[in-house]
Amino acid sequence: MTPYDYIEAQQDAFLEQLKEWLRIPSISTLSEHKADVRHAAEWLRAHFMLMGMARAEVFETPGHPIVYAEWLGAPGAPTVLIYGHYDVQPVDDPARQWRSDPFEPVVRDGKLYARGATDDKGQTFTQMKAVQSLLATGEMPVNVKFMVEGEEECGSTNAYAFVEQHADLLAADVVVVSDSHILAPDRPSIVTGLRGMTYMEIEVFGPSHALHSGAYGGIVHNPAQALAEILAALHDGDGRVAVPGFYDDVAELSAGQRTALAKVPFTLERLEHETGLTAPWGEAGYELHERLGIRPTLEVNGLISGWTGEGSKTVLPDTALAKVSCRLVPYQDPLKIYRLVADRVAALTPPTVRSEVRLLHTGNWVVVDLDSPYIRAAARAYEFGFGAAPVYVREGGSIPIIGTFQKTLGTPAVLLGFGLPDDNLHAPNERFHLGNFHRGMKTAVHFYQQLGGRA
Amino acid sequence: MTPYDYIEAQQDAFLEQLKEWLRIPSISTLSEHKADVRHAAEWLRAHFMLMGMARAEVFETPGHPIVYAEWLGAPGAPTVLIYGHYDVQPVDDPARQWRSDPFEPVVRDGKLYARGATDDKGQTFTQMKAVQSLLATGEMPVNVKFMVEGEEECGSTNAYAFVEQHADLLAADVVVVSDSHILAPDRPSIVTGLRGMTYMEIEVFGPSHALHSGAYGGIVHNPAQALAEILAALHDGDGRVAVPGFYDDVAELSAGQRTALAKVPFTLERLEHETGLTAPWGEAGYELHERLGIRPTLEVNGLISGWTGEGSKTVLPDTALAKVSCRLVPYQDPLKIYRLVADRVAALTPPTVRSEVRLLHTGNWVVVDLDSPYIRAAARAYEFGFGAAPVYVREGGSIPIIGTFQKTLGTPAVLLGFGLPDDNLHAPNERFHLGNFHRGMKTAVHFYQQLGGRA
C-alpha cells in the first residue's frame, strides 16, 4: 500500500479525528479558556503517539504549553521541522454571526465549518496525517519533528523563547509551516513573503471618572472624541500612514520585482466576492496586491469607550481605548515602529487629555529565497497534489515565528499552505475546504518523498 | 407638631425607607431590568398610599409604567404637580469602579451612596417626605399631584405621550421638579435654563463580515478608522461643532445677560476638584459657565468596534458604532439638529464605507421666567431651608419633559433641586448629601406653605 492509497482509505477516519480536536475551544487570548487550551495540547500529544511518532511531549511555558513530537528513524536523511499552532481565535458572538456552533464542526458543501478549521488545526492536521501515511506504510524518507504551539493567536511570545532555549532539540534542515492559503483549489501558490507585526493599545484618559454629559459637556475634552482625533490623524488623505519615519526602512521593489508580483493581481471582482465591497481603499501609487504584499499598514482592530449597551446613556467617558496594529514589511523593525507610533500619538495628544501607547506584541516579517531547493521541491509537490504549477505571492498576513526560526536556528522555511482566501479565518463561519485537506496531504507526502530522494 | 418637627423626628425612618427604594435596580435602558423597573413603580405606588395620599395608581405605557398620586383636599388653594423619575442609570462595571454595591445603599461621611441616590429617587423622595410632613401634621396648604415616570434615563418618550393624553388629570398651577443641583450646601441656586437633547447613533459599515487584518489590511477602508475620521471632523480646532447650520438658531445673549450669568463662574479649581483635570476644553470665545449654560455641544457618549477583549485579535472590523448626543439651547430644534448632523455625516462618509445616523430620542430646552411668583417663592424657600439667598444659573443638563409641561399644559415650572455638583450622577459612586436631603425637605415645605398663603 502506498501512502496515497492509505490517505484514500483513511479519509473518513481522518475527518472524524480532526472534528474531535476542533471541538476543544482552545482560545488562547481569553483566560477563561486556559483549561481548554491545555486540553487541546494533551489531545495533540496523545494523537502524536497514536499516529506512530517515537516521542511526544508537552512542554510547559509561562503561558500555554508547547507540544513537541519527533520520529528520527531515517539516519542520514534530511530533518524536517513542522511548525503549527493548536490555539484558535475568539468567536465573538456565535449566536449572532455563526451559522453553526463554532465548536461543533459540521460539513456543508464540501467544507468543514469550525473555529480553527483552517487556522491552524486543520492545516497542522493535514501535515500530521501526511506524516502518518508515510509512517504507516513504511515509506517515511526523512526525519521529522513537530513543534505545535498554543499562543500564535496572542503573540507567540513564549514560542520565541522556546525556540531560543531548545535550539538543539529543534535543529532541522528546513522548517515547514502550513498556516497560509493558496489562491484557489486549482491555483496553488507559494508564499514568498509575510508581513511582520506591531500590536498596540492606544488609550486616552480624560476626567478622573465618567461625567454627566450635560453637567460637563462643553468644558471637558471628551476622551472618545480625542481618541477619534488622534486616530484620524494617523493616516493622510492618500491612505498613507501619517507617522514620521514609518516608511523609512521600507524596501522599495524594483520595476522587475513589481512586474513579477503583478502576475497575481488582487481583482475588484475578488474584493467584492470576499468582502461585499465595491470600492477599495489604500495607499495611493500601489496596486491592491502590492498594498497587501509589500506595503506596511496601520489598522484599528478595536474601539471601546463609554456607553455601548442598548439605548442611550448621557455619559462623558473617562477613557477611550483603541487596539491598533501595524503590518510590517522588509526592513521595518517592529520595536522601532512601536516607538514611532508612540511618539506620534504623544505629539498628537493635546494638553486637555492624557494618552498612553502600550505594546502588546511584535513579530518579524519573512522573505523566502525563491532559488532554494526546498522551494523548488514545494513547487513540484503542489503540481503533483493540485495538478497545476504554483505561482509566487507575497502575503499580507504574519507568521512571525518563521522569522525567529530563520534568525535563531538559521533554518530556511517553506510555507506549504492549504487554506483558501475565503476560509473566513479570524472571522465567523471559519471553514476548511475538504478537497484541499485531501490534496494537501498528497502534496505534503510528495514533498517529503522528494526531500528524502524518493520522488 | 409642626411639619419641621415631624421632619426632625422622622429623619432616621425616612433614610431607611429611601434605602429600601434604592435597593431596587430600576435601570430603564436595559431590558434585563424590566421587572425591577416595575417593582420600583409598585413600591412607589404603595408608598404613596402609606404616606397619606388620597389616590395612587400605576399607569401602563408601551414602555415602563408611570406612577400617579394625588391629594386634593385643599379646595380653592393652588394645585402643584410634582414630577420625578424612579428609573436610574446603568452602573457599568460595579466591581471595578464602585466603592460599594450600587444597589446596597450605605452612608459614608454624611453621604448616601447608591445608584439613584441623587438622580432621581433621592430628590423625588425629598419631595414625597415634605408632602408627608405637611399631611401628617394637618398643615397641607395646597393640592398636590405626583407624576413619577420610569423612562427619564432612556428618553421619556412615553411620558411625553402620557402628559398629552392626561392633560386634565395633570392640570396644575405649577410644576415642581427636584432633579437638579445647587452650587454648594451653603450656596443654593435656582436653575433658570436647561439644555435640550438630540441623542443619536452613528454607525459605519465596512466589509460584509469581519476580516483578517493581514489578508485585507491595506485595501479595505477600516470602518473603525472611518468612524474616527468622521467624528474628528465634527469639531473644528476652536472647539466648535463643525456641522453646517448647527448654530443658526442659537440665541446670542446680550452683554447684560452675559454679565448676570458671570456672577456664577465655573472656576478652574472647581474643574480640577470635580474632574481631576487642569486644562479645560471647549468653544473659543465663551467662558466655562457659558459653554455649559448657553452654548450647545456635540458629545461622544460611547464607541465600539471590533476586538475589545483582553489581548490582541488581528481583525479588521465590519462595523463601528458611536453614541453621540447634542445638548441644545434656545432656539435650536432637536429634530432639525438631527437632520443637520445626519446630513453632515453623510457628506463626510467616503465611498469606501457606508454610514447611518439613527435618532434615539430628543428633548426640548427650557427657559424659566425669573419674574414669576413661583420663582420668587422658591428663592425665599431656599433662603429659609439653606440659610442663604440663591443665585440664578443656567444648567448644562436636560430635563426635556419640562418643555412638554410648558408646551402641552401651559404650566410654568420651578426646578427645586437639592443635589450637588459632585454627586457623581450618571457615574460610579453616585451619592446624595444627607444634609441636603434634610434641608431640601424644609425648603419644599416652606415653598408649599408660601404657595398656600401660610408663610
**Residue B286 identity (one-letter amino acid):** Y
Q: So what's the pLDDT on residue B422?
A: 87
State the nearest Cα–Cα gap between B324 and chain A, in angstroms. Answer: 9
- Do B304 and B186 belong together in one domain? no
Domain shared by B330 and B401, yes or no: no
Spell out the SS3 assignment of B31-89. Answer: HHHHHHHHHHHHHHHHHHHHCCCCEEEEECCCCCCEEEEEECCCCCCCEEEEEEECCEC
| Residue that the C-alpha cell 492606544 belongs to | A202
**Whole-angstrom distance, CA of residue A230 vs CA of residue A261:** 34
- Please judge whether B303 and A300 are an interchain contact, meaning their C-beta atoms are less than 8 angstroms apart: no
* CA–CA gap between residue A121 and residue A86 (Å, rounded): 5
Does residue A269 fall inside a structural domain? no
Per the domain annotation, does A153 fall within a domain?
A: yes
Partner-chain residue, chosen from B207, B210, B424, that has the shortest CB–CB distance to A209? B424
The whole-angstrom distance between B266's CA and the closest CA on chain A is 10
* Residue from B69, B137, B275, B51 nearest A213 by CA: B275
Q: Strand A111-113 to strand A431-433: parallel, antiparallel, or no bridges (unpaired)?
A: antiparallel
* B272 is a domain residue: no
Collect the ranges in chain B with pLDDT lower than 50. Answer: none
Q: Which range has the top average pLDDT, A133-137, A272-276, B207-211, B411-415? A: A133-137
Closest in B89, B206, B306 to A313, CB measured: B89
For residue B277, is it within any domain?
Answer: no
In a shared domain, residues A397 and A305? no
pLDDT of amino acid B95: 75
- Looking at residue B157, its pLDDT comes to 83
* End-to-end CA gap in chain A: 16
- What's the pLDDT tens digit per position in A405-452? 988 888 999 999 999 988 998 889 999 999 999 999 999 999 999 999
Q: Which residues of chain A make contact with B90, given a CB cutoff of 8 A? A: 307, 309, 313
**Minimal C-alpha gap between A121 and chain B (Å):** 17
Contact assignment for B214 to A327 by CB distance below 8 Å: yes
* 3 state DSSP class of B369: coil
Distance CA B378, CA B380 (A): 5
Contact A308 B323 (CB under 8 A): yes
3-class DSSP state of A279: coil
Contacts of B397 in chain A (CB under 8 A): 212, 214-215
How do strand B174-177 and strand B79-85 relate by DSSP bridges? parallel
What's the whole-number mean pLDDT along residues A28-43?
96
Residues B68 and B162 in one domain: yes
Mutation target to probe the A interface, by most A beta carbons within 10 A, among B97, B268, B303 is B303
Helix (H, G, I), strand (E, B) or coil at B249: coil
Q: Do A275 and B208 touch (CB under 8 A)?
A: yes
- The answer on A437 and A380 residing in a single domain is yes
| Of residues A207, A235, A307, nearest to B277 (C-beta) | A207
Q: Are B423 and B430 a contacting pair, CB within 8 Å? A: yes
Cβ-Cβ contacts under 8 Å, B429 against chain A: 209
Q: What is d(CA A110, CA A431) in angstroms, rounded to the nearest whole number?
A: 10
Q: Tell me the CA distances in angstroms from A153 to A68, A176, A426, A431, one per residue in order.
A: 18, 19, 9, 17
> Which of B315, B337, B363 corresponds to the end of one domain?
B363
Closest CA to A79 of A412, A371, A345, A389: A412
What pLDDT was estimated at residue A130? 98
pTM for this prediction: 0.82
Nearest to A154 among B303, B311, B323 (CB): B311
- Residues from chain B that touch A300, judged by Cβ atoms under 8 A, are 222, 224-225, 228, 305-306, 317
**Cell 443638563 appears where?**
B397
Candidates A277, A324, A284; CA nearest to A304 is: A324
Q: Find how far residue A403's CA is from the centre of its chain.
A: 13
Q: Residue A201 sits in a domain of what CATH number?
A: 3.30.70.360
Give the gap in angstroms from C-alpha A455 to the nearest C-alpha of chain B.
34
Q: Which of B219, B279, B424 sits opposite A351 (nearest CB)?
A: B279
The answer to whether A180 and A126 are in contact (CB under 8 A) is: no
Counting the structural domains of chain A, the total is: 2
* CB contact (8 A) between residue A398 and residue B306: no
B218 & B85 share domain: no
What is residue A27's predicted lDDT score, i.e. its pLDDT? 97
Residues A135 and A161 in one domain: yes
Q: Measure the CA–CA gap between B293 and B289, rounded to whole angstroms.
A: 6
Nearest CA in chain B to A316: B301
Instruction: Measure CB to CB from residue A228 to each of B232, B277, B291 and give the nearest one.
Output: B232
Write down the pLDDT at residue B52.
Answer: 96
pLDDT at residue A47 in the model: 98
CB contact under 8 A, B313 and A323: yes
**Chain A closest-CA separation from residue B79 CA (Å):** 31
What is the chain A residue with the closest CA to B96?
A209
pLDDT value at residue A46: 97
> Which residues of chain A lie closer than 8 angstroms to B31, CB-CB?
310
Q: Write out A360-419 in H/E/C secondary structure.
A: EEEECCEECCCCCHHHHHHHHHHHHHHCCCCEEEECCCCCCHHHHHHHHHCCCEEECCCE
Mean pLDDT of A358-386: 93
A259 domain residue, yes or no: no
Give B389's DSSP letter. P
Mark which of A309, A335, A363 sits at the end of a domain.
A363
CATH code of residue B433: 3.40.630.10
Which residues on neighbouring strands pair with residue A394, listed in sequence order? A193
Element (H, E) at B159: helix B157-165
With an 8 Å Cβ cutoff, are A302 and B306 in contact? yes
Whether B326 is covered by a domain: the verdict is yes
Q: Residues of chain A with pLDDT > 90: what percent?
A: 82
Contact B221 A281 (CB under 8 A): yes
Residue at which a domain ends, from B314, B330, B363 = B363
Residues B306 and B351 in one domain: yes
List, for residues A280-307, the tens digit of each pLDDT value: 999 999 999 999 999 999 999 999 999 9
Q: Nearest residue of A to residue B196 by CA position?
A: A214
Q: How far apart are CA A298 and CA B162, in angstroms?
A: 51
Residue partners of A291: CB distance under 8 A and separation at least 6: A282, A283, A297, B218, B219
Q: In angstroms, rounded to a whole number, what is the distance separating the alpha carbons of residues A100 and A105? A: 8
Q: Give B-chain residues touching A30 at CB under 8 angstroms.
A: 309-311
Q: Could you give phi then psi for residue A408, rounded to 5 degrees?
A: -85, -45
Residue A304 has what DSSP assignment? E
Same domain, yes or no, for B32 and B146?
yes
Residue B194 contacts residue B399 (beta carbons within 8 Å) = yes
Cα–Cα dist A28/A37, whole Å = 6
Which three cell numbers mark A354?
492624557
What CA–CA distance (Å, rounded) separates A168 from A409?
9
- Which alpha helices (DSSP H) does A233-295 contain, by range? 255-261, 268-275, 288-293
B101 and B159 together in one domain: yes
B312 neighbors A248 (Cβ within 8 angstroms): no
A455, pLDDT greater than 80 = no
Distance from CA of A370 to the nearest CA of B (A): 22
Rg (CA), chain B: 23
> Quick one: B238 and B173 in the same domain?
no
* Euclidean distance between CA atoms A386 and A185, whole angstroms: 7
Tell me how far apart the alpha carbons of residues B245 and A292 are, in angstroms, rounded to a whole number.
41
DSSP result, A143-198? EEEEEEES-GGGT-HHHHHHHHHTHHHH--SEEEE--SB-SBTTB-EEEEEE-EEE
Matching residue, cell 393652588: B78
Same domain? For B325 and B408 the reply is no
- Chain B residue whose CA is closest to A32: B310
Q: Which residue of B has its CA nearest to A240?
A: B218
In a domain, B283, yes or no: no
Angle separating helix axes B3-22 and B434-451, nearest 10 degrees:
130
Residue B411's domain spans which residues?
3-194+366-451
**Torsions phi, psi for A147 (to 5 deg):** -125, 115
What is d(CA A376, CA A370) in angstroms, rounded to the nearest whole number? 8
Q: Is A256 within a domain?
A: no
Residue B252 DSSP class: P
ipTM of the complex as predicted: 0.81
Cβ contact B351–A279 (<8 Å): yes
Q: Which residue of A has its CA nearest to B180?
A: A215
Q: Which residue of A lies nearest to B32 if distances are taken between CA atoms?
A: A310
